[in-house]
Each structure stands twice: as C-alpha cells, then as structure tokens.
Amino acid sequence: MNAPFIWIILPILISILLIIFRRHRGVIVFSGLAICLLFAWSAWIVSFDQVIQLGTRTIKIGETLSVFGRDFVLSESERPVISLIYFINAFWILGAYYSKPTRLFVPYSILVVALLTAVIAVEPFLFAAVILELIVLLSVPLLAEPGQKSHKGALRFLAFQTLAMPFILFTSWMVTGVEAGPGDLELLSRAAALLGIGLTFSLAIFPFHSWIPMLAEESPPYLAAYIFFVFPLGVSLFALGLLDRFVWLRESGILISIVQILGGIMVFVGGFWAGVERHLGRILGFAAIMEIGYTLLSISLIEKNGLLIYFWLFIPRLLAYVLWAMSLSKINRDSNNNINFGNIRGVGLQSPFSSIGVLIGNFTLAGIPFLAAFPGRLVIWEALAKSSPIIASGTIIGSIALIVAGLRTLSVLFVSKPLPIKENSLKISPLSDSVISEDKMPLLETDSTDRLEKRIFLIENNWVNSIIWGLFFLLIIYVGNFPQFYIRILQNFLSVFEHFGQ
Amino acid sequence: MEINSFATPSLIIIFIAVMTIFLSRNWRWGLTSLGIMYLGVFGLIAISWPTNLAVVKLISGWLASSVLAITQIFSTQKSKQVSQPTSEFIFWAFSAILIIIISYSLSSSLLVWLPIFEFQQSLGGILLMGMGLLSLGFSNQGFRVSMSLLIFLAGFEILYAAVEASVLVAGLLAVVNLGIALSGAYLIVSRTEEKQTS
C-alpha cells in the first residue's frame, strides 16, 4: 500500500464507478462529498512511511509508486496540501447540489483532484505539465455542452493550454543542464524565458487571458467557475514548486518583479473590464482574472510571508466562487441561459437568495470589509504599498471597479423594473427541477407586488438548498470576521515548500 | 541499413504532407496528409528512440487522424465543401513560404545551441511547430484547431524525443494526442447536432 495509490489511483477508480450511478443526483452528490471528505481527513491524520496500528494489524503507507520507470512520490510534507485539495473539492461538490450542473460533474471533479494530486507527486516535477494537459482535455466536453451558441472559449482554452505544455516540458530538460552548470547565464535565461512563456499560457496571464471571459459567457457558470478555481490552483502550486526547487529562479529579482507587475496588471484590467461588463457570467470571468492576479501578487511577495497569503486567499476565494457560481447557475437556468443585463431585470424579486448570492460572491472578491476576502486583501495591499505604491494603487482601483460591477448588478437585479412575465417561462425552464402546482398558476398571470412575494416561495429552492446557501453565506461572514481561527491551520501548509516554509 | 538514412526522406514526407494540409481546404486531403505526416514524424523520432517506442507516435497519430476522419464523415459538414478562392490560396502559399524560411533559419541556430539534434530533426520539428501555430492562428473551428494542435505537437515531439526517452512521457503524450482528437471530434459533433436541431 502506498500513498500515490490511495490518493491518485483509488479516486480515479471511484470516479469511474460513480459515472455508473450518475442518474441519481442526490446519491452521487452526497456520496462524492463523503468520499472527498474521507480522503481529506485521512490525508490530514495518516502519516506516510510509518507503521500504523489498525486493531491487530499494522500497515505502512509508502511514499512512492513507480509507473513505467518514473516515480509518483507523495511525501509526509505534502499531506496538508493533499488534504486541502480534497477538502476544497468537497465544497464544490456540495455546491453542485444547488447549482445542478451536468450529472458527470461529481465523478469529473474527483478525477480532477486525483490528477491534481498526481501533479504534486510526479517526478521529475516538470512532467506535471502533461498531467495538467490531461485535466484540460477532460474538461473540454463538459465546458462545451451541445446547444451552446459557440464553443470558441473552450477551443481557445484547449489551444492555449496545449501550447503551454511543450514549453514547460522542454524547460524540464534544460533545467537539468542549469543545475549541472548554474554559471551558464545564457542557458539560464533561455530556460527562464521558455518557462515564462509556458506559465503565461497556462495561468492565463495577460495577454493570454481571453479564454476566461469567453468561457464564462458560453459555458455553464458552475463548471466555468470550477475551472477558474481549480486550474490556476494546480498551475500555481506547480509554479511554486518550481520556485522552491530551483534556487536560480527563486533568487532572480527580475523574475519576481515581472510576476508582481503582471499580477498588478491582471487585477487592474480584470476589475476594469468587470466594471463595464453587462453579462453576469463574464463579470465572474473577469473576477477570476483578478484572482489570478492576486495569486501572482502573493507569489511575488514570497519573501514577505507571501506563501501564507497565497494559502490564506484560497478559503475566501473558494467560498465566494462557489456561492457566486451556484447562485448564478440558478439565475441562468431561470433566465433560459441568457444572463445579459437586459434579460435579468428584476430577477432579484423572483430569486432573491440566488441574486443575493451573486452579489455576496462579487463583493467578497472585491474585498469589501466584513466579507471573507477582506483580511487577505488588506495584508496584500499593505505589503504592496511598502514595495510598490503604483501596483498597490492599481489593485485597489481594480477592486473598486469590481465593486462598481456589483452595484450595477444590484441595480439590474433588484431596482430595475422586471420584464413582463411570460407564463411559460415561469412554469419553469427545461433544466430546472422546481415545480409549480397547477392551482397556483393563476397567480403568475399578474404582476402586483404581493403576488411577486408569493412567487418567491414558489420558485426559490427547497430546504436542502437553503441550508447549503446559508452555510456558504455564514462561512463567508465568519471567515471575514474571524480569520485568526483558520490562519493557525494554514501554518501547516507552509512545510510543503521546504525552502519557503522555513 | 541505418535508421539515420531515413532522415532526409522523412523530412521530405513531412514537408509535402504539411504543405498539402496547409494549402488544401478539403478535409479528406488534409487528414490523409496528416496520416502521412506521422510517417515522417516516426522516421525522425526513430533516430533518437528505439523503433518499438517510436512506433507509439505513429500509431497514436494515425488513431488521432482516424478519429477526426470518422467524425468528419458522420458530421453534416461533409456536404459543405467550399471552393477555395485563388487569392486565399496565394495568401496561404506565401505564409507557408515565410514559415519555411524562418524554420530553416531557426533550425541552423538551434543546431549551434544544441548539437544533440540532427539537422533533419531540427528543421522538421521547427517547421511543424511553425505551421501548426500559423494554422492555429487562422482557425476557429473544432476540426481545424485540433488538426493545428496535432501538427504543433508532432513538431514538438520530434525535438523532445532527442532529449527525453521516458516511456511514461511517451505514453502520456500519446494520450494527449488522442485526447486532442477526441475533444476536436466532440466539438465538431456538438456543433453539428446543434445545427441539425436549429
């Protein structure tokens, strides 16, 4: 028995098994949730490469699995990150009950976390680029559902990620030479340039970010948000691994400055475009671009507790993305997959919880005080203000622009006059599971305020959905106001990167 | 007979195949040429790898071409054979010539920097990567995008084979090639179904 088998091979087998039971949505969601929590919990408590007493038996979980002459190694120091990845996925699976994406989402997400674990485990480390490409290939069919107006976002996502892989793989060979002769500046600069190009494609760094808003517009919001969260997570862990392993990269001042400038540009540009956008999905996409920018900024502050900030940002980001995406999915379903401002006027009166969820997600990522992301943002802004006031100002302007996007959304959802109600659209969209009884139907023919209030209870969700929505809402408030409770846990993650964590 | 003696014929095969893919808008010609191109890719990879491992590239390439061909046959797009204007042909021809000149120039520089490559490998690899990139830049449909990505990856694999002979990576890259073809097939089919229903 070894760790890569338990946390990579076993989840892959389970995900294949879950595909068979995909027709039962509730069963698959809650079994997927239980499986992810079990893997997260076991990674948290079980020590690798040590003898464990299980009743009368003793077992030892090894660290290495050899496949075709190459090793997958999960070491003791990587346990917290494995646990974090599975824990994060549990939240996404929970949100899937509310948002009702494709029935393949749960097996797919378990497969993705297994592959993300493989990204951490594979040796040589740079072979992870191929595994990231496999995640992309698995994602394309889910992102490009039949019936969508266009698949250009999915195609561009596939193209950019495929272009990234060769650059990173070729660097893997070059860095071996750099390690052998670190004084070879020419080789070093070429390796850094190739790696930079690869990571720029892979992390959707400006100017190769265009697939994000396109995907956010065309694809189901929950799946798009999942990709926006999980993919940068995998690539950024990979990039941090590179910085940790190669001293010549870590000590390159120019590289860190470039990363910081790019991060600042992404936060500013993402926020600006979100502020002037009129499509709810694309606003989420631009917010995702901002988040990648914040990830880069935290990496650039690596000498100033940047690693802690990097992990700190994950929890608020996760909560905001899931709440935003699951609420947006509900609005998207009820609006016949058209979430342009012109088509969702007054939807807040029909779906108040989902509309508030979209707004809370938006304002959380903008860094509004008392919401989850605010403490982390404050630390970043403070650190940036000391080293680069221009970049700090740019990021604050970006966040203000995202607040503007939220206020515009608020105005459209709650203040604008609702569109005339078509009876058919309220009977319910084809994808929705909500039911309106026939005796209540006459109620829908008029548009008075009291009737609208009654409609809320007809169309809004069942009690399980309310609990899930409430849980995310409370967690966002809690994390925003009491960050000290989970920052202590985050200290465990720093040991993953042996040079940064010290 | 040494495997190196196949290097120049392989390069010629690649050159003819990729020019046909590039200049012809007919998917049948394109996919046939893609299959032939993988013969040349196999010839150049076999210089660095054992033949039994290099065959993996050939088979995975042929499988990828077959997946795209089958999808095209069953999609309604087969009836849409649009004739190619002469101006478009000239534009593509000039673009291809430009890529050939750049590839020749770069391959010489690459040989100075990394003498581990044979000249044919260097030129073949860079030529395919360049043609793939150019074709990708002008494509916005599943079929053309996946074919461009396959060409680009084939070029990369020629160069990468000279520096890395891992069975795991060979297997994973074969899966990636197939995955790109399957993703492209899925996108073609889903667009076709949509057109049929609308």
List the single best residue of B113, B141, B168 to mutate versus A (max A Cβ within 10 A).
B168
Contact (CB<8Å) B145/A158: yes
Q: Which structure tokens are listed for B72?
A: 């095209």
Structure tokens at A99: 């948002």
Residues A343, A194: Cα–Cα separation, whole Å: 45
The one-letter amino acid code at A383 reads A
- State both tokens at A328: 């947006």
Pair (A394, A404) in one structural domain: yes
Least CB-CB distance to A146: which of B140, B183, B193? B193
Same structural domain, A39 and A90: yes
Question: Does some domain include residue A501?
Answer: no
Say whether B180 and A158 touch across the interface (CB within 8 A): yes
Name which residue leads in pLDDT, B22 or A398. Answer: A398
A with B: how many residue pairs have Cβ under 8 Å apart?
Answer: 96
Backbone angles phi, psi at A50, to 5 degrees: -130, 150
In this complex, is the C-beta atom of B116 within 8 Å of any C-beta atom belonging to chain A? no
The residues near A82 (Cβ < 8 Å, ≥ 6 apart) are A7, A39, A43, A74, A117, A120
Residue A127 and residue B140: Cβ atoms within 8 Å?
no
pLDDT at A325: 94
pLDDT for residue B45 is more than 50: yes
Place of tokens 């150019």: B134
CB distance B33 to B21 below 8 Å: yes
What pLDDT shows up at residue A50? Answer: 75
Residue A346 counted as domain residue? yes
On the question of pLDDT at A337 being above 70, the answer is yes
Q: By percentage, how much of chain A surpasses pLDDT 70?
A: 88
Residue with tokens 């070093």, as numbered in its chain? A188
A423: left (phi over 0), alpha (psi -120 to 50) or beta: alpha
Query: Is B153 close to A166, i.e. CB distance below 8 A?
Result: yes
Asked if residue A28 belongs to a domain, the reply is yes
- A132 and A58 inside one domain: no
- Around B111, how many Cα atoms within 13 Å sit in the side-chain half-sphere? 15
Domain total in chain A: 3
Question: Under an 8 A CB cutoff, do B169 and A131 touch?
Answer: no
In A247-373, which residue ranges form alpha helices assigned H by DSSP? 247-250, 253-276, 280-300, 306-334, 347-350, 352-366
Yes or no, beta carbons of A159 and B191 under 8 Å apart: no
The pLDDT value given to residue A228: 93
Min Cα separation B173/chain A (Å): 7
Residue A133 domain flag: yes
Does residue A258 carry a pLDDT above 50? yes
- Is A137 close to B182, i.e. CB distance below 8 A? yes
Interface contact A162-B182, CB threshold 8 A:
no
DSSP state of A496: G
Query: Residues A260, A221: one domain?
Result: yes
Q: Is B119 on the interface with A (CB under 8 A)?
A: no
When mean pLDDT is compared across A230-239, A249-258, A264-273, A348-357, the lowest value belongs to A249-258
Q: Which helix (H) or strand (E) holds A243?
A: helix A221-245
Chain A residues in contact with B141 by the CB 8 A cut-off are: 155
Average the pLDDT over B25-54 and give the result: 89
- Structural domain contains residue A32: yes
pLDDT given at position A177:
64
Per the DSSP assignment, residues forming a β-bridge with A53 are A58
Asked if the C-beta of B187 comes within 8 angstroms of chain A's C-beta atoms, the answer is: yes
Do residue A169 and residue B187 have CB atoms under 8 angstroms apart? no
Q: Is A218 near chain B, with CB under 8 Å?
A: no
Q: Kindly state whether A147 is in contact with chain B, defined as any CB-CB distance less than 8 angstroms.
A: yes
pLDDT, residue A286, reads 95
Omega before residue A124 within 30° of 0, cis: yes
- pLDDT, residue B182, reads 92
The burial class, CB within 10 Å (0-12 / 13-18 / 19+), for A446 is exposed
Co-location of A132 and A110 in the same domain: no
Integer angstrom CA distances of residue A75 from A48, A51, A246, A398, B42: 7, 15, 19, 39, 38
In sequence order, what are the residues at sequence separation of 6 or more whose Cβ sits closer than 8 angstroms to the Cβ of residue A467? Answer: none
> CA Rg, chain B, in Å?
17
Confidence of residue A417 (pLDDT cuts 50, 70, 90): confident
CA–CA separation, A291 and A312 (whole Å): 13
CB contact under 8 A, A144 and B152: no
Contacts of residue B113 in chain A, CB cutoff 8 Å? 190
Q: Residues A364-376: what's their mean pLDDT?
A: 91
Do residue B160 and residue A169 have CB atoms under 8 angstroms apart? Answer: yes
Mean pLDDT of all residues belonging to chain B:
86
**Alpha carbon distance A367, A353 (integer Å):** 21
For residue A207, cis peptide bond before it (omega within 30 degrees of 0): yes
Give yes or no for A166 touching B (CB within 8 A): yes
For every residue of chain B, DSSP letters joined together read: --GGGGHHHHHHHHHHHHHHHHH---HHHHHHHHHHHHHHHHHHHTTTS-HHHHHHHHHHHHHHHHHHHHHHHHSGGGG--PPPPHHHHHHHHHHHHHHHHHHHHHHHHHHHH-TTS-HHHHHHHHHHHHHHHHHHHT--SHHHHHHHHHHHHHHHHHHHHHH---HHHHHHHHHHHHHHHHHHHHHHHHHHHHHHH-
Write down the pLDDT at residue A441. Answer: 41
CA distance B160 to chain A (A): 7
| Closest C-alpha to A352, from A277, A440, A432, A457 | A457
Cβ contacts of B142 on chain A, cutoff 8 Å:
151, 155
Q: Does B9 touch chain A (CB under 8 A)?
A: no
Neighbours of A438 (CB within 10 A): 7
Report if residue A180 sits inside a domain.
yes
Confidence of residue A183 (pLDDT cuts 50, 70, 90): low
Same domain, yes or no: A64 and A173: no
At A52, give phi and psi (nearest 5°).
-115, 135
pLDDT of residue B153: 93
For an interface test with A, the pick among B148, B169, B195 (most A C-beta atoms closer than 10 Å) comes out as B169
SS3 A211: helix
Closest residue, chain A, to B153 (C-alpha): A166
CB contact set of A250 (below 8 Å; sequence gap of 6+) = A243, A244, A302, A499
Q: Nearest-CA distance from A27 to chain B in Å?
A: 28
Give me the pLDDT at residue A434, please. 44
For chain B, say whether A70 makes contact (Cβ under 8 Å): yes
Q: Cβ–Cβ contacts within 10 Å for residue A308, how many? A: 21
Query: For residue A497, what is the DSSP state?
Result: S
At B196 the pLDDT is 59
**Residues in chain B closer than 8 A to A145 (CB atoms):** 190
State residue A453's pLDDT score. Answer: 52
- Do both A449 and A379 map to the same domain? no
Nearest by Cα to A96 from A36, A144, A26: A26
* Cβ-proximal residues to A77 (8 Å cutoff; 6+ apart), any chain: A495, A496, A498
The stretches of A335-440 forming alpha helices (DSSP H) are 347-350, 352-366, 374-387, 389-410, 423-427
CA distance A130 to A125: 11
Q: Check B187 against A154: CB less than 8 A apart.
A: yes
Judged by CB atoms closer than 8 Å, whether chains meet at A146 and B194 is answered as: yes
Contact between A141 and B183 using a beta-carbon 8 Å cutoff = yes
Phi, psi at residue A64, to the nearest 5°?
-125, 135
Tell me, yes or no, if B193 comes closer than 8 A to chain A by beta carbon.
yes
* pLDDT on residue A458: 43
Closest residue by Cα to residue B145 from B84, B35, B68: B68
Answer left, alpha or beta for residue A69, where phi above 0 means left and psi between -120 and 50 means alpha. Answer: left
CA distance B149 to B157: 12
Q: What is the pLDDT of residues A428-467, one digit of tens each?
A: 444 344 444 334 444 444 454 555 555 554 445 577 888 8
Residue entry with tokens 């002769």 = A181
Q: Which domain holds residue A109?
A: 1-123
pLDDT at A343: 85
Nearest to A109 by CA among A279, A231, A291, A238: A231
Is B136 in Cβ contact with A69 (below 8 Å)? no
Nearest to A154, CA basis, from A230, A236, A217: A217
Confidence band for A425, pLDDT divided at 50, 70 and 90: very low
Say if CB A52 and CB A59 are below 8 A apart.
yes
Among chain B residues, the shortest Cα distance to A186 is held by B113
Q: B53-112, pLDDT tens digit by residue?
A: 889 999 999 999 999 999 888 875 555 556 677 888 888 889 889 999 999 998 888 888
3-state secondary structure of A336: coil
Binary contact (A140, B187; C-beta < 8 A): yes
Local confidence band at A348 (pLDDT 50, 70, 90 cut-offs): confident
B160 near B154, Cβ under 8 Å?
A: no
Is A169 in the same domain as A99?
no
Per cent of chain A over pLDDT 90 is 35
- Contact call for residues A7 and A65 (beta carbons, < 8 A): no
Higher pLDDT, A205 or A405: A405
Token pair 């004739």 is found at: B83
The domain ranges of chain B are 3-77+86-197
Q: Specify whether A134 is located in the same domain as A98.
A: no
Per-residue CA distances from B102 to A405, B61, B85 (Å): 46, 26, 26
Which residue of chain A is at minimal alpha-carbon distance from B194?
A: A147
Give me the pLDDT at residue A501, please.
55
Q: B-chain residues within 8 Å CB-CB of A138?
A: 179
* Inter-chain CB proximity B197 and A140 less than 8 Å: no
Q: Do A75 and A88 belong to one domain?
A: yes
Kindly indicate the confidence band of residue A46, based on its pLDDT and cuts at 50, 70 and 90: confident
A269 and A360 share one domain: yes
Give the pLDDT confidence score for residue B76 in this predicted structure: 59
| Cα A248 from chain centre | 30
Is A68 in Cβ contact with B166 (below 8 Å)?
A: yes
**Inter-chain contact B168–A69, Cβ cutoff 8 Å?**
yes
pLDDT at residue A230 is higher than 70: yes
Q: Are residues A102 and A210 in the same domain?
A: no
Whole-angstrom distance, CA of residue A177 vs CA of residue A195: 14
Asked if B149 has any chain A CB less than 8 Å from its own CB, the reply is yes
Using the Cβ of A134 and the Cβ atoms of chain B, whether some distance falls under 8 Å is answered with: yes
- Residue A502 placed within a domain: no
Of A236, A237, A247, A324, the C-alpha closest to A281 is: A324
Q: In this complex, do A159 and B166 lie within 8 Å of one another by their Cβ atoms?
A: no
Q: Mark residue A147 as left, alpha or beta (left: phi above 0; alpha: psi -120 to 50; beta: remaining).
A: left
Distance (Å, whole) CA A30 – CA A38:
12
CA distance B1 to chain A (A): 30
From chain B, the residues in CB contact with A190 under 8 A are: 113
Interface-testing mutation among A151, A174, A175, A178, with chain B (most B C-beta atoms within 10 A): A151
Q: Residue A162 and residue B186: Cβ atoms within 8 Å?
A: no
Q: What is the mean pLDDT of chain A?
A: 83
**Which secondary-structure segment (H or E) carries A471?**
helix A463-481
The answer to whether A141 contacts B175, with C-beta atoms less than 8 Å apart, is: no
3-class DSSP state of A113: helix
Has residue A310 been placed in a domain?
A: yes
Nearest one of A21, A18, A25, A148 to A433, comparing CA atoms: A25
